[in-house]
Amino acid sequence: MLRKNIFDAVIIGGGCAGTGAALKLRDYSRNVLVIERKRIGGLIYYAHRVSNMPFFKNETGISVCRRMECFLIDSGLPVLFAEVYDVKKTLEGLVKLRTSEGDIITRYALFATGRMPVKYEKESKRIKYFHDEIKEGETAVIGGGEVAVSQAISLKQRGLTADIFTRSGLKNVNSALKREADMENIKIIHAGESLKFGESSDKVIVAYRAKDEEIILLYDNLLYSCGREPVMPQTDFNINDEHISRAGTVKKEFPSQCDDAFKDGEAEGMKIGLKLRGE
């Protein structure tokens, strides 16, 4: 049934930006589809506590995701759980999306596909990117941003050990999160440029220099939490094409917060809505 329809707009990604866009677009058209490959809410799922979203103050990321899903269900807009592989122009000037559930045609497409963790160059089964991939043992968290601190707190609250190793300190971490890390007795090790890590057959090795002494520590897991990069399905569209646009963290050079992503989604959703009305 989906394949025969030509949608007014399709939003690729049901994270904060995609949800914001969908809720705004509903004011302009009911012929809108959200396509999400994993779960509504996107990366905010992994946040230990969300303090900056107006409707969801101090809820866990999991709870924010559930509530966003309810918003979408209540809005009456359909959600297709599928992966979008590529996005192409048709001869008629429409947009064709190739998805794991078949092809979909739309007048406008919005990429709200977010950012995924930057990968560590030496992949192995001990290297993880999301805290819920870690089931047991002691973890060295590498990174000094809010994502690293939030993930370490989540591990501690599950009764696991997590120490944070940072090269440049926690300059960009808000004070509420730092306080929580402190309350959970998370060790923050400022290792500077001396920080190195690698693996033996059964452990992760973390090494750094402190007061002219080389310190070597062993862990079961390494949670690599050092930045994120945009994820985009393949497309032959120029990104400034009038039929295709981007919203949320996928279009930012530096990852932003979920409230920013949501507002940006609303703004891009409104722009598409106005085009649909011919304004």
**Which residues of this protein are in contact with ligand FAD, per CB under 6 A?**
12-18, 35-38, 42-44, 46-47, 50, 52, 83-84, 112-115, 146-147, 150-151, 231, 233, 248-250, 255-259, 261
Cβ proximity to ligand FAD, 107 vs 115, nearer residue: 115
* CB nearer to ligand FAD: pick between 49 and 126: 49
- Output 23 or 208, the one with its CB closest to ligand FAD: 23
Rounded to a whole number of angstroms, the minimum distance from the CB of residue 265 to ligand FAD is 7
Q: How far is the CB of 133 from ligand FAD (least distance, A)?
A: 12
Query: Amino acid identity, residue 187?
Result: K
For residue 59, the 8-state DSSP code is B
CB of 214 to ligand FAD, least distance (A): 31
Token pair of 270 as six digits: 């409104």
Query: Measured on CA atoms in the order 215, 140, 146, 178, is the torsion positive or negative?
Result: negative
Considering beta carbons, is residue 206 or 250 the nearer one to ligand FAD?
250
Query: Which residue type does 165 have?
Result: F
CB of 225 to ligand FAD, least distance (A): 7
Quote the longest CA-to-CA distance of the chain.
69
φ, ψ at 73 (rounded to 5°) = -60, -45
CB count within 10 Å of CB 140 equals: 26
Give the type of residue at 157.
Q
Cβ pair 247, 264 in contact under 8 A = yes
Closer CB to ligand FAD, 208 or 249, in the complex: 249
Cα separation, 36 vs 83, in Å, equals 7
In angstroms, the first-to-last Cα distance of the chain is: 30
Query: 151 vs 191, which CB is nearer to ligand FAD?
Result: 151
Compute CA 26 distance to the chain's CA centroid, rounded to the nearest angstrom.
Answer: 24
CB of 80 to ligand FAD, least distance (A): 9
Min dist CB 12 to ligand FAD, Å, is 5
- Rg (alpha carbons) of the chain, rounded to whole number: 21
